[in-house]
Structure 1
Amino acid sequence: MSRLRPEAGILPPVSSPIAQQASFGERLRALRQARKMTLQQASKETGVAQSTLSKMENNQLSPTFNLMQKLALGLGIDMPQLFAPVHEARISGRRSVTKKQQGREHLTATYEHELLATELDSKRMVPFKSRVRARHLDEFGGWVRHEGEELLLVLEGDVLVYTEEYEPLPLSEGDSTYFDSTMGHAVVSVSKDDALVLWVCVAQ
């Protein structure tokens, strides 16, 4: 299977409900400035092009999972902190509850992500649900690829999991797969309606 270019997406207009809920660009700029970093310095620390950082801060570009992970690692934060306020208190026995459809939403061209437990920082896992809108592999601008490992569990519908090293894997409701996230991957729905899946990602 041929190598594909990295995926990118455009954020919804500022007037949309998602944009009104939270500005990713403002959050990213605040995190960078809190560390007294210029765009050039942030680019060096994160490995993300300066022009890409500028577009994200101005809400002109929606970050892919790979970009979010680079930003989190470079800024020394947990990925959900890119979308929610950082809580400084560190208390043992932490717990987080996310009510149905109350997670932080993040849209891409192929998925509708719902980030879970966003109020907790420094988590070892990044859990989120995704409504899979894509129906064909060519709808992706490229492979999704990032550090770590992940679990995918199908909650509703049927999906086809594409990976660089294996044949396409069909999964139905209740099925799951665990794989190396550095291997290019993409998931499409093969149901009449969009499938719903749960991801749990762990950075290494």
Structure 2
Amino acid sequence: MTDLNEQDIYPSMKISNDRGSDKIEPVKLGERLKEIRKSFGLTLEEASKKTGLARSTLSKIENEQISPTFQAMQKLTRGLQIDLPQLFAPPKQVSATGRRDITRNNEGKAHPTSTYEHELLATQLTNKKMMPFKSRVRARDFSDYSDWIRHAGDEFLLVLSGDITFFSEFYEPVTLNEGDSVYYDANMGHMLISSSEEDALILWVTAS
């Protein structure tokens, strides 16, 4: 990532866990199974192959048309590699917060450093679950950095223009061109330099 000071980014990334007064409702097993399947990115056909249950059976369970037998639940937990109690956890309630923050072109908060010229985006929002920002990469050589950059969370990088060389602690350096992207564990040491004639421009999204 960057040599951006963590106090400039992470105070706004506090994730609230307040649940309020949840009402206890009967668990809808089919709805819960569908939520688990989709969280794994599986189609009914793929889940059928993993669990050994017929696609039609899975569909009927998810649509509350039939109740699964204990044997069927065992196949589900083994095939999806989950614990049985997970099937009985209430589905997550999603509620819209209505939050929105528009940042016009070149109107983000500037934060220049020795290797990057950052533009922080969506700075009006607090308690964000991610931090997006654009950066112009000034660094031109590995030696421009005194050490690997590493911090908590995951990070996504998209090259908007120019070319970069992406260095990471456990992989060989890789060249990324305009339109290329990389998602990585930011706890792993990483850094990048511009390898094009002009300074590369990238979009970064950091999430805790």
Calculate the TM-score normalised by the size of structure 2: 0.57
Shift of 1:72: 6.5
Q: Pick the aligned partner of 1:96 from 93, 101, 107.
A: 101
1:78 match: secondary structure: helix
Aligned partners of 2:144, 2:125: CA distance in 1, in Å? 33
Matching residue of 1:68: 6
1:167 match: secondary structure: strand
| 1:78 maps to 2:78 | no
Aligned partners of 1:148, 1:72: CA distance in 2, in Å? 12
Aligned partners of 2:143, 2:160: CA distance in 1, in Å? 24
Unaligned runs of 5+ in 2: 14-95
Matching residue of 1:23: none
Aligned partners of 2:207, 2:98: CA distance in 1, in Å? 20
Matching residue of 1:112: 117
- 1:24-73 Cα shifts (integer Å, max 9, x gaps): xxxxxxxxxxxxxxxxxxxxxxxxxxxxxxxxxxxxxxxx33x415x766
Matching residue of 1:156: 161
Matching residue of 1:122: 127
Calculate the TM-score normalised by the size of structure 1: 0.58
1:138 match: secondary structure: helix
Aligned partners of 1:72, 1:135: CA distance in 2, in Å? 24
Shift in alpha-carbon separation, 1:144–1:200, aligned structure 2, 3 A: same
Looking at CA atoms only, which structure, 1 or 2, has the larger radius of gyration? 2
2:147 match: secondary structure: coil
Aligned partners of 1:108, 1:144: CA distance in 2, in Å? 14
Deviating beyond 2 angstroms after TM superposition, the runs of 4 or more aligned structure 1 residues are none
- 1:68-96 Cα shifts (integer Å, max 9, x gaps): 15x766xxx316xxxxxxxxxxx921101
Q: CA RMSD in A?
A: 2.1
- 1:116-175 Cα shifts (integer Å, max 9, x gaps): 000000000000000001110100121111000000000000000000000001100000
Aligned partners of 1:147, 1:183: CA distance in 2, in Å? 9
1:1-204, aligned counterparts within 5 Å? 64-65=3-4, 67-68=5-6, 77-78=11-12, 92-203=97-208
Aligned partners of 2:9, 2:181: CA distance in 1, in Å? 27
2:172 match: secondary structure: coil
2:201 match: secondary structure: strand
